[in-house]
């Protein structure tokens, strides 16, 4: 049963992304303990074209995952539009109808509706709710009966250790994939440039607002007309994610907010497990099934090695180094020096 992982068994629960039915199948076959996905509309924070599940696909996905012994967690984690909350309520109803194991929500309106209409539905608090203290977690636990909290990526391992001692909910932390630099759910940078943001419409730095403009031998990647990065001849042009761009401040040009890196906290798995974290989460609902399969297998092997008393750090870093294709990685806020 979901969440029992930690009581009888110290294993970390591995929570894996699925942006498509094919990715869900790949994750289940690769050994994901849990798989998270979203409906194909603005109710989830990865509302990109070609991604996500229709209600019918969700029903089939849940059946398939359960056959493999995997749980399904459905993200309804954007903030409902004032005066038009119907889509979000229907999404919650659809999650229940699919037989999925839990809903991941951030909006107090969505949590309130789920608790009132579906008191038996298991509630996970999305990272978009940015609950980082025992007090904020208690609020969601007492008010809505939330059973698990996905922690914001602003906390160090030391802070997670302390937090675990003060809360009775399960915790889930991101360990691999894309990295938000700003506190999730507390960032309107994307809407400032484009009018669209994670909280408003489930997207960040959306492709429809991106342009690549040549100027002499330079190529500028722009978002909503703002230059986010520039590339000289021979440089590989990256995607202009707003917080990973190059900007000028104090007379210097730099990746002011964050370098174009991704999160890899595989080396911290043993410490996170020791801290009492229930589940570790892989980011990447926009990724293809081959990638999902490879990452899930690597992390599942690491978790199994740890269960057998082995050194997960060495095993997993060897497996993952092949996948990042020379891309740069960070352990993010988990190490205090990041700040």
Site residues for another protein, 107-166, by CB under 8 A, read: 107-109, 112-113, 128-136, 138-140, 142-143, 152-155, 159
- Beta strand 247-249 with 226-231 is unpaired
Site for another protein in 265-324 (CB under 8 A): none
> 10 near 273, Cβ under 8 Å?
yes
Measured from the CB atom, is 21 or 177 closer to another protein? 177
Residue 56 φ/ψ, nearest 5 degrees = -65, -45
Least distance (Å) between residue 243 CB and another protein: 8
β-bridge mates for residue 84, sequence order: 81
Q: CA 255 to CA 257: how far, in whole Å?
A: 6
Site for another protein in 169-188 (CB under 8 A): 181-183, 185-188
Site for another protein in 64-93 (CB under 8 A): 79-85
Least distance (Å) between residue 15 CB and another protein: 22
Using the rule CB under 8 A, is 199 a contact of another protein? yes
Measured from the CB atom, is 134 or 276 closer to another protein? 134
- DSSP type of residue 39: B
Using the rule CB under 8 A, is 230 a contact of another protein? yes
- Residue by residue, DSSP assigns 304-337 as HHHHTT--HHHHHHHHHHTTSTT--EE-GGGSGG
- Applying CB under 8 A, the span of 95-103, 262-270, 277-285, 329-337 interacting with another protein comes to 329-337
Using the rule CB under 8 A, is 233 a contact of another protein? no
Measured from the CB atom, is 67 or 248 closer to another protein? 248
Residues sharing a CB contact under 8 Å with residue 47, sequence separation 6 or more, in sequence order? 38, 41, 78, 201, 202, 203
Residue 252 φ/ψ, nearest 5 degrees = -120, 145
- In Å, how far from its chain's centre is CA 309? 28
Measured from the CB atom, is 223 or 296 closer to another protein? 223
Contact with another protein (CB under 8 A) among 71, 246, 281, 289: 246
Measured from the CB atom, is 72 or 104 closer to another protein? 104
Residues sharing a CB contact under 8 Å with residue 235, sequence separation 6 or more, in sequence order? 219
Site for another protein in 251-270 (CB under 8 A): 252-254, 256-258
């Amino acid at each position: 049963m979901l969440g029992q992982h930690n009581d009888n068994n110290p294993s970390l629960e591995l929570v894996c992304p699925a942006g498509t039915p094919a990715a869900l199948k790949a994750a289940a076959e690769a050994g994901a303990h849990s798989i998270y996905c979203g409906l194909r509309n603005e109710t989830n924070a990865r509302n990109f074209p070609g991604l996500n599940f229709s209600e019918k696909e969700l029903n089939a996905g849940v059946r398939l995952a359960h056959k493999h012994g995997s749980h399904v967690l459905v993200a309804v984690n954007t903030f409902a539009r004032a005066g038009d909350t119907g889509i979000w309520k229907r999404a919650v109803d659809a999650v229940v109808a699919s037989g999925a194991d839990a809903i991941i929500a951030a909006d107090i309106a969505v949590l309130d509706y789920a608790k009132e209409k579906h008191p038996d539905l298991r509630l996970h608090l999305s990272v978009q709710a940015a609950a980082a203290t025992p007090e904020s977690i208690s609020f969601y636990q007492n008010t809505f009966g939330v059973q698990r909290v996905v922690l914001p990526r602003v906390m160090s391992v030391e802070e997670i250790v302390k937090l675990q001692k003060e809360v009775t909910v399960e915790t889930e932390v991101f360990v691999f994939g894309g990295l938000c630099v700003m506190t999730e759910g507390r960032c309107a940078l994307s809407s400032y440039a484009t009018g669209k943001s994670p909280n408003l419409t489930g997207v960040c730095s959306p492709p429809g607002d991106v342009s690549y403009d040549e100027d002499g031998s330079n190529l500028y990647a722009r978002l909503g007309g703002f230059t986010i990065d520039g590339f000289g001849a021979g440089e590989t042009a990256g995607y202009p994610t707003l917080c990973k761009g190059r900007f000028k401040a104090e007379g210097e040009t730099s990746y002011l907010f964050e370098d174009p890196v991704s999160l890899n906290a595989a080396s911290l798995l043993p410490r996170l497990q020791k801290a009492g974290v229930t589940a570790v989460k892989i980011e990447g609902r926009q990724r293809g099934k081959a990638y999902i399969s490879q990452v899930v297998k690597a992390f599942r092997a690491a978790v199994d090695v740890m269960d057998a008393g082995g050194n997960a750090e060495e095993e997993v870093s060897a497996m993952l180094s092949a996948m990042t294709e020379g891309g740069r990685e960070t352990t993010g806020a988990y190490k205090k020096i990041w700040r």
